[in-house]
A = this chain, B = another copy of it.
Amino acid sequence: MLEETLFALANGYLGTRGTMEEGAVADHQSCEGTYLNGVYHSEKITYGEVAYGYASHNQKMQQVPNGKVLKLKLDDQTINLADAMEATRWLDFRTATLHRQMRWQSGSGRQLSVNTSRFASLTHPNLLCLRMEILAENFSGDIELSALLDAGYRFSPNKDDPRVGVLSLDDSLALYQQHAGDSDAWMLHQVKDGEFKIASVSILNSTVAPRHISQITHEKQVGQHWLLPLKQGESVIVEKYICYQHSKELTFETLLDEAQQKVQEAKRSGWDALHSQHQQAADAFWQNADVQIDGDPALQQGIRFNLLHLFMSIGKDGHSNMGAKGLTGHGYDGHYFWDTEIYILSVMTATNPELAKRCLEYRYRTLEGARQRARQMSHSQGALYPWRTIGGDECSAFFPAGTAQYHINAAIAHALRSYYAATADWQFMQEMGAEMLFETARLWLSLGHFNARRDGQFCIDGVTGPDEYTAIVSNNFYTNAMAKAHLQFAVQMAAKFRHQDLTAYEQLCVRLSLTESEISIWEQAAEKMYLPFDETLRIHAQDDSFLDKQPWDFANTPPDKYPLLLHFHPLVIYRHQVLKQADVVLAMYLLDDTFDQAQKARNLAYYEPLTTHDSTLSSCIHSIEFAETGDYQRAYEFFHDTVRMDIDNRHGNTEYGVHTACMAGSWMSIVHGFAGVRMRPDGLTVNPHLPDHWQGYTFNLQYQGRQIQIKVSKDKVSYLLKDGESLSLQQGTQQVHLNKGQWLNVSWGNL
């Protein structure tokens, strides 16, 4: 199951796990899964005790029929991996293509080699492409091929782990119609408890004509059975193209028609052309995003693996986003969290800002739902984004670690701020960004209050911060600090908007019933924001109550009791000083210029020993902050924990999908941590460090229309402005001026 996740493929719209064409080996647990991003079914949430305003339905990422099935039979024996003489599989990072080579021998000694490849097209998002090359090594004769669309797959997890969703393909799709032809097959499904219709269409092609064809039409499977004549020493190539398409509006007939056209076009184009287009798109991504680590192949593999999965899974159509597990598994039901804005978009704004924009567009498209949610939560104005969702509705069934995480609003504002700093894309801000920013900002004012008992400072009570090992507290430092930054940015953007286009600004204000006096209250709230600080410890307090709690008894917590959430009741965890993940420390990263180095070091020294890092979102942030405060040894350790999290299955649950935020975090650890890159309103800054273990490293940035490559090596830092206008940036205290096409080396002595 682990490999099924690692070898998953996706293109942002469709994702499919790395299961075998012939299906699972009988005695191995396997989790089949093909997913459509942004498509979901709704399940009523059952509560032991329900209360007003609880999320009513869970939106689960929609699974669709498995189109990968290509089963071979020789001498009446099914050919599968378990019986192979030799077999190897690899994911080609550069081309986002999965390959398998296998040699196999029948009982009678007939030998075959079977090479398969597949990719989810980066240029044709509805298309999954498969290719199988069959070579008869020592015989001539017929081989049987069954190609299926399979809607009958199920998965029952054997773990009682709240983080694992349950697969329910059967329960979520109602068959409308299906068909099997000689080379094509299709299924039309209505998503139960939802408005989506789905068409799944496949077409089969081969380099030799089948000697016999029969159609397969079972209750949950359609496809064809081909008898293919093999000649010793000659390859037969089979191609299969599967198109998945969904719609709320179209009729089934139109939907089918469109999908059929797409597979026909794919068949006409053929594998080579399709793969070539796909490869160009992958090339472009690597051009913008690749990171090279010289001197450590394992880390090199790790970072590229992570970047590839981020790129493959991220929603690219403005109607979808990035699930916590991407499109590699059904963990967390495929929900989108703040992970997107705080982690994924940190990478994307700096490497592929267009993709960051698409994710922000998705948030804009669900703004109306966030407004309605705010009303449910008794806020007469503004918008409250859901803690977890697909379609835009709150899907969190445990509000203390769900809806209570109001900082989701600040996360979206942070992403807008980062995106704008990285791109200066005013058009987006004017068309969508400002409205989201203002609507989320105004929520803080009805959530918090100017507290007379604390000198009129602005306090926010009854929230949960990023650290879910503490819940429903007053003045969570992270939340307050992020709200402050959110309000400040909203005030700045309002001023800019007013200045840039008064008419449009005034129209927006009228539409939102937004007045200048409200904006001035935002300014006051930001200015008077209460940021808990303990004068004795000289650290920021995680919240009003945290520092008064008992420290967790780490000495008497054996390793098998982690993660704590699987071994202790929430109340036990809540009443102790123990963190699941970075909280104050995360604020230090996101709002890095509001802390001095000494303060960061003191906060880190206090909080890190209390942190279990039970969340995979934690290590990377600690890596960055240790790097920022000059403890490169610890920075490196935490980075190491991050970069191969999934490949090495360090948290033991990659089976259910990769950890996309952690993957993004590994990039952040390098670029924001070791290289100290920050994109601020006043420009790009770099503070590079080269970890001892490395010869050097190279990474790429997109910055306000420019492509920049930065190479950090033992004796110098080298900059190449690959494209775009000349630029001055700051390296430490030094000004660096870049001109297009010229390498600039800055030698340095501070290593």
Contacts and interface: CB of A to CB of B under 8 A. Distances in A.
Contact of A48 (B46, B544, B548): B46
A550 interface: yes
Contact of A575 (B47, B462, B574): B462
A48 B49 contact: no
Contacts of A471: 472
Contacts of A474: 545, 548-549, 575
A572 B377 contact: yes
A569 B376 contact: yes
Contacts of A447: 575
Interface residues of A, number: 56
A46 B571 CA distance: 19
Interface string A556-591: 000000000111111110110000000000000000
A461 B548 contact: yes
Contact of A569 (B45, B58, B403): B403
A404 interface: yes
A51 B569 contact: yes
Copies in the complex: 2
A51 B570 contact: yes
A210 interface: no
A153 interface: no
Given A461-B575, A472-B471, A571-B472, A51 B547 contact: no
B571 A462 contact: yes
A71 interface: no
Interface string A37-58: 0000000011111111111001
Nearest to A473: B545
A454 interface: yes
Interface in A451-495: 451, 453-454, 459, 461-463, 471-474
A53 to B, nearest CB: 3
A107 interface: no
A377 B548 contact: no
Contacts of A160: 50
B547 A544 contact: no
A449 interface: yes
A474 B570 CA distance: 15
Interface string A622-640: 0000000000000000000
Given A462-B574, A569-B403, A572-B378, A49 B396 contact: yes
Contacts of A749: none
Contacts of A548: 451, 453-454, 459, 461, 474, 544
A98 to B, nearest CB: 33
A743 interface: no
Interface in A391-437: 396-404
Given A377-B572, A378-B568, A462-B574, A398 B547 contact: no
Contact of A545 (B401, B404, B461): B461
Contacts of A109: none
A28 to B, nearest CB: 27
B49 A565 contact: no
A272 to B, nearest CB: 48
A449 B565 CA distance: 22
A417 B474 CA distance: 36
A467 to B, nearest CB: 14
30 contacts: A46-B47, A46-B48, A47-B48, A47-B398, A48-B55, A48-B58, A48-B397, A49-B396, A52-B565, A52-B568, A52-B570, A53-B570, A53-B572, A54-B569, A376-B569, A377-B571, A378-B568, A400-B472, A403-B571, A453-B547, A459-B548, A461-B548, A461-B549, A461-B550, A462-B571, A463-B571, A474-B545, A474-B549, A474-B575, A544-B545
Given A50-B160, A377-B572, A544-B545, 11 more contacts: A49-B397, A49-B401, A52-B567, A53-B568, A377-B571, A399-B571, A403-B569, A404-B571, A447-B575, A453-B536, A461-B548
Interface of A: 45-55, 58, 160, 162, 376-378, 396-404, 447, 449, 451, 453-454, 459, 461-463, 471-474, 536, 544-545, 547-550, 565-572, 574-575
